A and B are shown apart, each in its own frame.
Chain A
Amino acid sequence: MSDQDRNVSRRNFLKATGFGVGSLAAAVGLGRLGRTEVVIAQHSEPAEHAHGNPGMMGQVDHEANQFDPHELLTDFDYGEISEENGRTVRTWQILAVDKEIEIAPGIFFPAWVYGSATSAASRRQGLVVGQCPGPTLRCVEGELLRIIFVNGSSHPHTIHFHGIHSAFMDGIPNVGRGVIEPGEQFTYEFVANPFGCHLYHCHAFPLKRHIHKGLYGAFIVDPDPAKYSGADRDLALQRNHQTMATGSINEMVMVMNGFDTNFDGDNEVYAVNSIAFAYGMQRPIVIQREQLQRIYLVNVTEFDPINSLHTHANFFDYYDHGTTLLPTQKTIDTVMQCQAQRGIIEVSFAAFEPGLYMFHAHQSEFAELGWMGFFELEA
């Protein structure tokens, strides 16, 4: 049966049962409303066609992009570990490249991106793959970090880490080594501090352009349980990737970003982890009831002062910047972040009914332009 047949029969049904608003009004003695009555009756009729569906047409070719937002979600890049004078040293090889990426079905963006030799995408493909957002670099507080940066892009870039380090290692133009020209390399070196959910990004000028083109990523420093005692130690154990109880926590990275595809200073596409509607109804994030969900949330959205995350049908605890062991906000369902603000969300679906639980930016505009997704809670 076509839509039209169904609508017609429904309308006939309404007429036959006298259930239109107009006829209902007449039936209860409000007759002689004349013209008004007719208008109400018209409006009470069912719509000729469905309201249609929000969203996009088609699918993004993740293989051509060489990275998949579902893989990025849980890919923590621990680099290569070595030992020097009794201290743990963590080394990453980071490459900057120019790369066109499909950010939404059929929409291609001329991006500048970072790639890491030790990211999941690179290991899977056997070559350093540029991805947006860049690899999620993860370490433990107190470790010595070495980031060997090679600029394979056609523009000068830097890596500026949000963390505590010397001015020389700040990764900004004209200070320390300054910008790294195309074809050149530089090794940033500093001690991981403080623990928390941080980020890194290119700080070459013009800054707005260099960030919004795709040069950013999450930088997570886990607390070192050995530095804490009592209840703090237990909390640090649960936050640290090396010591947390296996399988008890599902950790995810969500980098909120946007793309100004026509370069008019306004984003046409919004997303978490670059691809519009990546975790939509067709490919939701599958979660288990018995696991605590921990989201490392980073906002790098350019052009808009703030971005946000809202969970449906549930409330969460939030650790602003992730630099505390206890939540900075308890039992909230919406959190707001300015650009470069970030934090950790902990949300439990224990005792929830199975089904699709939506999450999105609560700027409705961002949500309808791509920043919208679902958790699918398994039975």
Chain B
Amino acid sequence: MGNDNQNTNFWQRLPLWVWGLLPLVLLLLVVSLFFLANPLAFFTGNFPPLETLTIQQIRFPGQNQVELTAINGGPDPVSIAQVIVDDAYWQFNIEPATPLGRLQQATITMNYPWVDGEPLTIALITDTGATFASEVPVAVASQAVDLYRLFSLLGIM
């Protein structure tokens, strides 16, 4: 009992600011443990790179012209190796050069004799051989946005 009293006295004798600091110290301890032990390794450790490439838009700016944008929505960098149009490899330009980092976007342009009013499938093949395809149900020339017309229309509405 005497010991208990002594302990109680000890805790009671501690200044108030120490009690205030205690949660912060505990928090620091937990946070540093989290970073040192890296418990998230379980989720990222032994998996092959996850490639997530999305073709956002395919445009036909003119006769024989195809332009598309692709974005890397995955955590790992993605290298676009080749472009396949309707089951045929086709030469292209890409800007910026791959690999694409996380959430990085690239524009691919190519000269391809697309046929007005017919469907078209474009696939991007990465260095690992994964393919990401997008189908255009009906290919039609893309209209350039005329801002004056657009805002006039908005004004009328």
- Seen from chain A, the residues whose Cβ lies within 8 Å of a Cβ on chain B are 47-58, 104-109, 259, 261-262, 268, 276-277, 365, 368-370
Assess whether B111 is in contact with A50, with CB atoms less than 8 Å apart: yes
Chain A proximity of B22: nearest CB distance (Å): 54
Cβ of B7 within 8 Å of any chain A Cβ, yes or no, is no
Q: How many residues from B make CB contacts under 8 Å with A?
A: 25
How many Å lie between the Cα of A316 and that of B137 in the bound state? 43
Instruction: Flag whether B89 is at the interface (Cβ < 8 A).
Output: yes
The docked-state distance in angstroms from the alpha carbon of A51 to that of B129 is 27
When the two chains form their complex, are residues B91 and A48 in contact, meaning their CB atoms are under 8 A apart?
A: no
Write out the residue numbers on chain B whose beta carbons fall within 8 Å of the beta carbon of A51: 64, 111-113
Query: How near does chain A come to B41, taking the closest CB pair, in angstroms?
Result: 24
> Are A108 and B129 in contact, CB atoms less than 8 angstroms apart?
yes
- Cα distance, A294 to B80, chains bound together (Å): 38
- Is residue B79 within 8 Å, beta carbon to beta carbon, of the partner chain? yes
Are A261 and B131 closer than 8 Å at their CB atoms?
yes
Q: What is the bound-complex CA distance between A58 and B125, given in angstroms?
A: 14
B95 nearest CB across to chain A (Å): 13
Cβ–Cβ contact B64 & A48, under 8 A: yes
CA distance A199 to B140 in the complex (A): 49
A47-B63, A104-B81, A369-B87 are known; give 13 further A-B pairs, CB within 8 A: A50-B64, A52-B64, A53-B91, A105-B81, A106-B79, A106-B82, A108-B127, A108-B129, A109-B129, A261-B128, A261-B130, A268-B129, A365-B87
Given contacts A109-B129, A268-B131, A276-B89, contact A49 B82 (CB under 8 A): no
Q: State whether A52 and B88 are in contact (beta carbons under 8 Å apart), knowing that A259-B129, A261-B129 are contacts in the complex.
A: no
- Indicate if the CB atoms of B129 and A107 lie closer than 8 Å: yes
A contact residues around B64 at 8 Å (CB): 47-52
B89 nearest in chain A by CB position: A56
Q: How far is the CA of A20 from the CA of B133 in the complex (A)?
A: 39
Whole-angstrom distance from the CB of B135 to the nearest CB of chain A?
Answer: 16
Q: Which of A49, A52, A105, A365 contacts B90 (CB 8 A)?
A: A52
- Residue pairs across A and B with Cβ atoms less than 8 A apart, 23 shown, are A49-B62, A49-B63, A49-B65, A50-B64, A50-B111, A51-B112, A51-B113, A52-B90, A52-B110, A52-B111, A54-B88, A54-B90, A56-B89, A105-B82, A106-B127, A107-B129, A108-B129, A261-B125, A276-B89, A277-B89, A365-B87, A368-B87, A369-B89
